Amino acid sequence: MVDADLLGSYFVSAYPPFSQWSTEELPAYRSALAAPRAGRATPFGLYVHVPFCVERCQYCYYLAVDGAPQDLVASYLDAVLAEADLYARSPALSERRVGFAYFGGGTPSLLTADQIESLFTGLRQRCDWSEIGEISFECAPRTATQKRLDALHAAGVNRLSMGVQQLDDHVLEQNGRVHRVEDVERAWKRIRDTGFDTVNLDLMVGMHGETETSFFDSLERIMEMAPDSVTLYQLEIPLNTPLSREVRGGQVDQLASWDTKHDRLAAAFERLESNGYTVRSGYTAVRDPSRHGFQYQDAQYNGADLAGLGVASFSYLDGVHHQNLATVPGYLQAHREGQLPLGRAHRLSREEQLVREMILQLKLGSVDLTRLERKFGLVPEEAFAEPLRQLETEGWLQVADRKVELTRAGLVRVDGLLPRFYPQRHQDVRYS
């Protein structure tokens, strides 16, 4: 029997929870776009969602369409560029320089080399990339062909992230991954030889069929490869995933408990540290923190503005959250009508902005309370007196000299602790 507490969302990517965003609040997002914000000091970046995958993995909750029918991909990329045009003409963004960009999926590396080239060229023509820093791109092992890697390198991608998940064919197959260990080995060699500034490999902790041995052997092999960055995600099983349906149908009888996943992550961080890596968040360890940052994540956790292009993408502009329409047909229809594909939004109060930055920065392991007070004019020790007291008593964090530091035990379960910082009205709401 699989414990019921293994089902549902775990990773917190937004506050207030998505269920609190609504179509009624779309006017707030329209107003944010209509207000000129030239010369703003707030960093600004782009997210581009590429919603195509060869096949759906058992645990996946991302918006992705199986296969990549070429006519659909072509219409989709046209729509993304048209959306970029609409943003680039808005008073809020017309004079803003793009500081960072992230291409996520789905599997963005399913795009052909030509599509990659025209997508990047189109975006550069529409937005000011003259001072761009990090350009991050997600890829999957089988699609990492030399032609595509060369196109990505030539387009300026300087942080490539590949989803490995585990180096065990049995576990990969059981979870519906289309790649096998030999695909990873082949892709790794090409990626290393292509010469990206930063390469990150994603692993998962607690996959269906994973054993102590499959997980730690995978980690050892990853450390031999010596990527610049290793990200470890603990398996979550949101209710819309094929795996959750199997669990509820009684077809899966064993999965790692949350305690096991937390313990494995803590042990993995220790192994990585003894191999010269530095833990920089509740998920990621890097070889050289001064070179292998993650601007996309850090900027967002510190309140950057973000324009999300593509189906179901998220934006954040001047304290307003927004998510695009979440189906491909709906997204394409908005494009045919010459409209932004507006889905749902939420304007955050000052208190909500404080909670948002507090919880996002906790994911990095420490929070500077003086900085938050300066930014929001609210005293975090007062606003969060109860959760800070509770979590300190339970051994998950320490507060000293106006800094909150998570303990390692707190860091490996950080997403499970964050809802304690929510005000009462958001305590028991659905996540999405």
Ligand X SMILES: C[S@@+](CC[C@H](N)C(=O)[O-])C[C@H]1O[C@@H](n2cnc3c(N)ncnc32)[C@H](O)[C@@H]1O
The contact set with ligand X (CB under 6 A) reads: 59-62, 104-107, 138, 140, 163, 165, 202, 204, 233, 235-236
Binding of ligand SF4 by 414 (CB under 6 A): no
- Whichever of 106 and 341 has its CB closer to ligand X, that residue is 106
**CA–CA gap between residue 162 and residue 187 (Å, rounded):** 9
Nearest distance in Å: CB 53, ligand SF4: 3
Q: Give the side-chain half-sphere CA count within 13 A for 397.
A: 24
Nearest distance in Å: CB 76, ligand SF4: 15
* 16, 43, 45, 106: residue in contact with ligand SF4 (rule CB under 6 A): 106
Q: What phi and psi, each to the nearest 5 degrees, are found at residue 162?
A: -115, 135
- Whichever of 104 and 293 has its CB closer to ligand SF4, that residue is 104
Chain centroid, CA 265 distance in Å: 18
Q: For ligand X, which residue has the nearest CB?
A: 163
Tell me the window of 31-39, 101-109, 223-231, 250-258 that interacts with ligand SF4 (CB under 6 A): 101-109
Q: Determine the size of the site formed for ligand SF4 (CB under 6 A).
A: 11
Nearest distance in Å: CB 18, ligand SF4: 18
**CA–CA gap between residue 208 and residue 190 (Å, rounded):** 29
**CA–CA gap between residue 102 and residue 159 (Å, rounded):** 9
- Whichever of 107 and 214 has its CB closer to ligand X, that residue is 107
The interface partner of residue 138, options being ligand X, ligand SF4, none and the CB cut-off 5 to 8 Å by kind, is ligand X
Residue 161, C-beta contacts closer than 8 angstroms, at least 6 positions apart: 136, 137, 138, 139, 199, 200, 201, 202, 229, 231
Do 318 and 92 contact (CB within 8 A), yes or no? Answer: yes
Binding of ligand SF4 by 107 (CB under 6 A): yes
Looking only at residues 210 through 269 of this chain, which bind ligand SF4 when binding is defined by CB under 6 A?
Answer: none
Point out which residues pair with 163 in neighbouring strands: 202
Binding of ligand SF4 by 334 (CB under 6 A): no
Binding of ligand SF4 by 136 (CB under 6 A): no
- Whichever of 230 and 397 has its CB closer to ligand SF4, that residue is 230
Q: In what order do the strands lie in the sheet with 100-105?
A: 278-279, 284-286, 229-234, 198-205, 159-165, 135-139, 100-105, 44-50, 305-309, 314-317, 320-324, 342-347
**CA–CA gap between residue 258 and residue 5 (Å, rounded):** 8
Residue 49, C-beta contacts closer than 8 angstroms, at least 6 positions apart: 63, 104, 105, 106, 308, 309, 310, 311, 312, 313
Residue 67 DSSP symbol:
B
Binding of ligand SF4 by 303 (CB under 6 A): no
201, containing H or E segment: strand 198-205
The interface partner of residue 165, options being ligand X, ligand SF4, none and the CB cut-off 5 to 8 Å by kind, is ligand X
Binding of ligand SF4 by 57 (CB under 6 A): yes
- Whichever of 86 and 232 has its CB closer to ligand X, that residue is 232
- Whichever of 243 and 340 has its CB closer to ligand SF4, that residue is 243
Nearest distance in Å: CB 106, ligand X: 6
Nearest distance in Å: CB 96, ligand X: 26
Q: Which of 363, 215, 216, 360 is nearest to 283 (CA)?
A: 363
Nearest distance in Å: CB 207, ligand SF4: 11
* 56, 271, 287, 426: residue in contact with ligand SF4 (rule CB under 6 A): 56
* 2, 28, 33, 64: residue in contact with ligand SF4 (rule CB under 6 A): 64
Determine the longest span between alpha carbons in the chain, in angstroms.
58
308, containing H or E segment: strand 305-309
SS3 state at 345: strand
Alpha-carbon dihedral sign for residues 332, 337, 340, 343: negative
* 43, 105, 238, 365: residue in contact with ligand SF4 (rule CB under 6 A): 105
* 6, 46, 48, 60: residue in contact with ligand SF4 (rule CB under 6 A): 60
| Contact footprint for ligand SF4 (CB under 6 A) | 53, 56-57, 60, 62, 64, 105-107, 140, 163
